Amino acid sequence: MNGIKPKHESIETDPVRLLARKFLEHLEIELSRSPRTIDSYGLSLKKFFVTAHIRTPEDITLERIREYRLHLNRETTPTGEPLRKTTQTYHVVVLRAFLKYLAKEDIVTVPAEKIEVGKTPTRQVDFLELEEIERLLSSASGDSLRSLRDRAILELLFSAGLRVSELTSLDRDHVNLNKGEFSIRGKGAKLRIVFLSDDAGDALFRYLEKRRDMDPALFVAVPIAKKGFVKEGALGDIRLTQRSVQRLVKKYAAKAGIVKDVHPHTLRHSFATDLLQNGADIRSVQAMLGHASITTTQIYTHVTNEHLREIHEAFHAKKKKK
């Protein structure tokens, strides 16, 4: 590409970088964005500044933005694949958010509304059928603390539709087994109520009854005694990491003979799909998932579209069939 090329030297005191720092602080303080989101926004903005040679707000022009988007469209990953459209769209969304912030601060630059995000391909949702869910849950059987913990994790992921980050952040005193519900703080520090199925409540009760430690975390690493020493958790029980839960889910999916690539988020998708298949309205599912926008929940149109077909076949042109 003969247009813009990456420029590796950077001046951290450039006016636009100082503004970007204030923007990221705004995300943290006023909008309560997670550290991971803030880091991701920062990297995306840095990519734009370096690639498009941006040092001041005045450097941000429609032409440079156009060339930057062309660069993104022609960029390839280390494996030689083009950047996914969703990734390209993400960079544009971050840039628009930054421009909106500049406008709010009365800094003259390109208006955010002049940048069209563009359409992205419909996201494919991977979920498990009910029979696969039953096999997955049954694969975590046994009375050991580890087995009881793993079964409780799988049951809770499916019962409450939790994100893996939400699950690993739970403490024991967060969960009310008597009421079968509890509050969870999700993305953007938004609070929502989640509910436990009877099976999930029972699995959690049996797991917690077996615990003998005093660690406040709901899910902890279980020590493995091997040849006279403790291999895991030797310094005491520790909170499970997101990566540990991801490995755990994959292990039981393989044990259950499920050939799909199963992640904790697959169970969240399965939770939403199951609700919709059983007649829940999409607004209720939005609330239970903690989505800020209904647009995010609409990735489950594969389910709602099927219901529309059933309604059409059940009620359309009934008089003609008589």
Instruction: Tell me the catalytic residues.
Output: 163, 187, 265, 268, 291, 300
Helical ranges in the chain per DSSP H? 15-29, 35-51, 62-74, 85-104, 130-139, 145-160, 164-168, 198-210, 242-255, 264-277, 282-289, 294-297, 301-315, 318-321
For residue 256, count other CB atoms closer than 10 A to its CB: 18
Of the candidates 96, 112, 107, the one whose C-alpha atom is nearest the C-alpha of residue 15 is: 107
| Largest Cα–Cα separation, the chain | 79
For 227, left (φ over 0), alpha (ψ -120 to 50), or beta?
Answer: left
Nearest-angstrom CA–CA distance, 161 and 158 = 5
DSSP 63-112: HHHHHHHHHHHH-B-TTSPBPPHHHHHHHHHHHHHHHHHHHHTT--S--G
* Residues facing 192 on adjacent strands: 184
Residues in a beta bridge with 82: 76
